[in-house]
């Protein structure tokens, strides 16, 4: 039985050594790993909160950016309306010019839209905008001519004076003959 005593002694020693290691491991876990795991949990919670805050800020900034873009698009559309006229309203433009001439008491006033077949350049044609030309003839003195030209320049949409000629040889009682070519930019009808 001495073999059994040795075996018992050996097993008791191994059990005591394992118990000591287990106690040391529990002690190390409680002193070192326990606080580290708690810190890790706090850092993960803080990271999740920060990530949520970041995503919220990104979402809000995207909405702000969309709002700013919408406002900028509306501003550009309103500015475009200062320089162009709808295709449907282009026919009323000759009446507007005639009304301006009547207000300025221009004599021998005549107006006509220029035929599109007389265009010589594709540069005047765009995908969204085309050019419409109007020929105007009238007799006026310098003051009447200047006030009429000023009224045309202040018109919305903008009327561009492409060229004009003043012929003093055919002068009548109401002033020299003025021939003027006006250009207006017309928005083309778009297919939806």
CA-to-CA dists, residue 170 to 17, 105, 142, 165, 167, angstroms: 128, 19, 15, 12, 6
Average pLDDT along the chain = 83
Q: Is the pLDDT of residue 192 over 70?
A: no
Interatomic CA distance for residues 19 and 11, integer angstroms:
12
Radius of gyration (C-alpha) of the chain in whole angstroms: 44
Looking at residues 9-36, what average pLDDT do you find?
89
pLDDT-derived band of residue 22, with 50, 70 and 90 as boundaries? very high
Considering only CA atoms, which of 125, 124, 167 is closest in space to residue 145?
A: 167
- pLDDT tens for each residue of 96-128: 888 988 888 888 888 888 765 445 444 456 677
User: Which one-letter DSSP state was computed for residue 89?
Assistant: T
∠ CA 32-33-39 to the nearest 5 degrees?
100
Query: Which of these ranges, 18-22, 164-168, 171-175, has the smallest mean pLDDT?
Result: 171-175
- pLDDT tens for each residue of 62-107: 888 888 889 999 998 888 887 888 877 777 888 888 898 888 888 8
| 63 three-state secondary structure | helix
Buried/exposed code over 11-24 (b: 16+ C-beta within 10 A; e: otherwise): eeeeeeeeeeeeee
Residue 134 neighbours by CB distance under 10 Å = 19
The token pair at 72 is 């900028």
- Please tell me the pTM assigned to this model: 0.56
């Amino acid at each position: 039985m001495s073999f059994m005593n040795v075996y018992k002694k050996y097993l008791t020693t191994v059990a005591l050594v394992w118990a000591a290691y287990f106690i040391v491991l529990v002690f190390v876990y409680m002193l070192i790993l326990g606080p580290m795991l708690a810190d890790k949990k706090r850092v993960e919670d803080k990271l999740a909160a920060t990530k949520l805050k970041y995503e919220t800020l990104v979402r809000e900034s995207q909405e702000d950016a969309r709002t700013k873009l919408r406002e900028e698009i509306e501003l550009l559309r309103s500015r475009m309306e200062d320089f162009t006229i709808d295709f449907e309203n282009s026919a009323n433009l000759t009446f507007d010019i005639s009304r301006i001439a009547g207000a300025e008491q221009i004599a021998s006033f005549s107006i006509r839209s220029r035929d599109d077949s007389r265009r010589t350049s594709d540069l005047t044609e765009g995908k969204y905008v085309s050019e419409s030309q109007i020929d105007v003839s009238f007799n006026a003195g310098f003051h009447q001519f200047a006030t009429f030209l000023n009224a045309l320049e202040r018109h919305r949409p903008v009327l561009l004076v492409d060229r004009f000629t003043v012929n003093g040889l055919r002068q009548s009682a109401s002033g020299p003959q003025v021939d003027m070519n006006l250009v207006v930019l017309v928005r083309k009808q778009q297919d939806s």
